[in-house]
A and B are shown apart, each in its own frame.
Chain A
Amino acid sequence: MDPVTFRDEVRSWLADHLVGEFAPLVGTGGPGREHENVELRLLWEQELAKGRWIGLGWPADVGGRGASIEEQVVFYEEYARAGGPARINHMGEQLAGPTIIAFGSQEQKDRFLPGILNGTELWCQGYSEPDAGSDLAGVRTKAALADGQWHVTGQKVWTSLAHLAQWCFVIARSDPDSTRHKGLSFLLVPMDQPGIEVRPIIQLTGTSEFNEVFFDDAVTAEDNVVGSPGDGWRVAMGLLAFERGVSTLGQQVGFTREFEEVLALARSNGSDDTYEGELIEAWSSLQVLAHQALRTLSNDQATSTGVEANVNKLLWAPWHKRLGELAMKVAGPSAMLTDGELTPLQNLFLFTRSDTIYGGSSEVQRNVIAERLWKLPRDSWVSP
């Protein structure tokens, strides 16, 4: 489709729908703010479904629109520009769905994709554990087949939106004698059952969007394993290969809004002279984030490194953290006080401490770049 026409379509749909009962959603949600407007964002997800904006890039034969990368970029740009709220089922649309499309059976596609596409089934991600954070291959949650069902026992942590989700995709050790990457299975587990308990984690922001999830003989059907049993690591990692950075462009429009908020504050309180260097530095790095994403999407073979996602993370996460710090400096002494609740800039400042930890800490990203791009050998004490 002609991207200009497509842009018009996206823009006018958002103008017509992100109003009225949904108007309070503008600019809400997202990392650090997932607790905002939850009920309304659930309805919004279904509103998006009616417009067929969910699964935009999914193939038509599974119910998607088969939109090109270019069109997806347009959608993310316009969505962010309109102040569209953070998508409450991004785990479903961005992670569970694509994984099922790539590795799942026809039955799994028929069963699970419609619930994501119509915005009625939410997903959460059961990866991290208390003893397996950045070192994901250390997972200990067990899964065993008995009576035609998988029985899952263990603990997951940092599970966002687990209290809302109907389903969780879980990496569990299905071969009790296995270690590391082998013997893991990628299971789809229903959340509403006696064997699962969700406990919120209160973060240093004082709010909660992450949870601990306890599995005590939780069950799921034997068929609810994606890929073969024991092949879970490949399934979990396979998704990373598809990530081309489309969604990061949308993320950047949000970053731009945050930067402009900081800049406007500096100009209004006169601190823009004092912090001119830092403001321009922040602006420059923001441009680079966009350039990096666009180059990644351009499919320029000469410069493809295979570690684009890792480089992106090491660019945006520390940048975002510095922006939060700059926001506090620009706000000045008034940032020492709250009205019982954090201001958006205080929330930015505090929540961004997690950016360089979640989704692969900066230290892990560096190791991946060293190993995957440059083939540097591992430290001798790290088991393979």
Chain B
Amino acid sequence: MSELEDLRAATRDLLATQAPVRSNLEDNPGIWKRLSSEMGLTSLPVEAPLSWTSAALEETGRVLLRAPFLPTVVAAGALNALGQDVAGLADGSVTAALALDGLDIVPYATDAVLLLVARDDELFVVDDFTVEALETLDLTRPAGRVTATTGRRVGTASYARDLQHLALAAESVGAAHRVLELVVEHLLVRRQFGRPLGSFQALRHRVADLTVLVEAATSSTWYAAQEGDDFAVAAPLARALAVEAFVAVAGDAIQLFGGIGFTWEHDAHLYFKRAWTTALSSDTRALKKLAFQRSGT
């Protein structure tokens, strides 16, 4: 097994035991220390190929991690590429939030030490800001409305945006995979009409179609994470496909779980809400058009 696979497996184990889905309805300060200073995952953007950060994000996506891992690694990668000092982000002592889409609803802003803000094509670091905490539909991802006072221009915003595209793709792909696994577990165990639900072809085919969507999104995310010459094309495309796949899987999952999937105590709605709130801040048509235009086709 490669080092990357070791890392992926260790991260999965840690999150499954220390940050299972339900635990992410509330703050869990312990997990941040484990992920950052103990496992060193926040330093991946500056110390390893992008595919490593992407793999870690797939894992945090699986459990709908509440901690600000995604914005912190995106900020670390983006600022590092611009020659900024990112020691605090890399060791986890500084956490970030991202306001790159022009929205004033900023995920993870409530706990953030610094804010990365994009205005047009300019990127700013803001560490003097006030946050009004917001009630969110997605219970596993806090958000706030931000009022910034002063910011420091650090360069252009395009790479930060592309990193965020990739990060959201990876997180969505991880979550979509997990939902699909949970659905299949249910179809194998639940019996109706004297046989397992998974033996009904109507359901098997739905699972297969969802598998194709998730595998395709995984491939596009994998490809973007190789960070080739066409990263600026691949990253927004990966985000679009991953978000669409996540929305499709999370929506169908509630149907495939049947009544139990409609209950509060089941995890299906947590994934469904994460999927849709990700989609609501990801115009997938615009992302595909952006990728198409950048490709010069």
**Contacts A301-B5, A367-B204, A375-B188; A380 near B222 (Cβ below 8 A):** no
**Contacts A284-B237, A284-B292; A315 near B201 (Cβ below 8 A):** no
Contact B223 A370 (CB under 8 A): no
Bound state CA distance, A280 and B289, in angstroms? Answer: 6
Contact A379 B292 (CB under 8 A): no
Bound state CA distance, A287 and B215, in angstroms? Answer: 14
Closest B residue to A308 using CB positions: B215
Q: Which residues of B contact A288 (CB under 8 A)?
A: 216, 219-220, 241
Contact A301 B292 (CB under 8 A): no
Q: Mark B197-241, 1 if CB is under 8 A from A, else 0.
A: 011110011011101100110111011000000000110010011
Contact B199 A380 (CB under 8 A): yes
Bound state CA distance, A309 and B34, in angstroms? Answer: 39
Contact A287 B8 (CB under 8 A): no
- Cβ of A311 within 8 Å of any chain B Cβ, yes or no, is yes
- Cβ of A141 within 8 Å of any chain B Cβ, yes or no, is no
Contact A367 B219 (CB under 8 A): no
- Cβ of A377 within 8 Å of any chain B Cβ, yes or no, is yes
- Cβ of B297 within 8 Å of any chain A Cβ, yes or no, is yes
Q: Which residues of B contact A377 (CB under 8 A)?
A: 188, 195-196, 198-199
Partner of B211, one of A260, A281, A363, A373: A373
- Cβ of B178 within 8 Å of any chain A Cβ, yes or no, is no
Q: Which residues of A contact B204 (CB under 8 A)?
A: 366-367, 370-371, 376, 379
Measured CB to CB, the closest approach of chain A to B221, in angstroms, equals 9
Contact A370 B241 (CB under 8 A): no
Q: Mark A270-285, 1 if CB is under 8 A from B, else 0.
A: 0000001100110110
Contact A379 B222 (CB under 8 A): no
- Cβ of B152 within 8 Å of any chain A Cβ, yes or no, is no
* Stretch in A30-38, A85-93, A98-106, A290-298 with 4+ CB within 8 Å of B: A290-298
**Contacts A284-B241, A291-B222, A305-B215; A314 near B292 (Cβ below 8 A):** no
Bound state CA distance, A365 and B233, in angstroms? Answer: 30
Q: Which residues of B contact A49 (CB under 8 A)?
A: none
Contact B201 A367 (CB under 8 A): yes
Contact A284 B218 (CB under 8 A): no
Q: Mark A341-379, 1 if CB is under 8 A from B, else 0.
A: 000000000000000000000010111011101111111
Chain B contacts with A in 99-145, Cβ cutoff 8 A = none
Bound state CA distance, A367 and B211, in angstroms? Answer: 12
Partner of A367, one of B8, B188, B208: B208
Q: Which residues of A contact B195 (CB under 8 A)?
A: 377, 380
**Contacts A288-B219, A291-B222, A300-B222; A369 near B211 (Cβ below 8 A):** yes
Q: Which residues of B contact A303 (CB under 8 A)?
A: 218, 222
- Cβ of B280 within 8 Å of any chain A Cβ, yes or no, is no
- Cβ of A1 within 8 Å of any chain B Cβ, yes or no, is no
Q: Mark B279-297, 1 if CB is under 8 A from A, else 0.
A: 0000001001101100101
Bound state CA distance, A369 and B297, in angstroms? Answer: 34
Q: Which residues of B contact A241 (CB under 8 A)?
A: none
Closest B residue to A313 using CB positions: B212
- Cβ of B157 within 8 Å of any chain A Cβ, yes or no, is no
Bound state CA distance, A370 and B199, in angstroms? Answer: 9
Q: Which residues of B contact A74 (CB under 8 A)?
A: none
Measured CB to CB, the closest approach of chain B to A380, in angstroms, equals 6
List 22 interface pairs A-B (beta carbons < 8 Å), by A numbering: A260-B297, A280-B285, A280-B288, A284-B240, A287-B234, A291-B222, A292-B216, A292-B219, A294-B223, A301-B2, A302-B4, A302-B8, A311-B216, A314-B212, A315-B216, A366-B205, A367-B205, A369-B212, A370-B205, A373-B211, A376-B188, A379-B204
A interface residues with partner B (beta carbon < 8 Å): 260, 263, 276-277, 280-281, 283-284, 287-288, 290-292, 294-295, 298, 300-303, 305, 307, 311, 314-315, 363, 365-367, 369-371, 373-380
Q: A284-B291, A379-B201 are in contact. List 7 more A-B contacts (CB 8 A).
A: A287-B237, A287-B291, A367-B201, A370-B198, A371-B204, A376-B187, A376-B207
Q: Which 7 A-B pairs have the closest CB atoms?
A: A366-B208, A376-B198, A370-B204, A291-B223, A369-B208, A291-B219, A292-B219
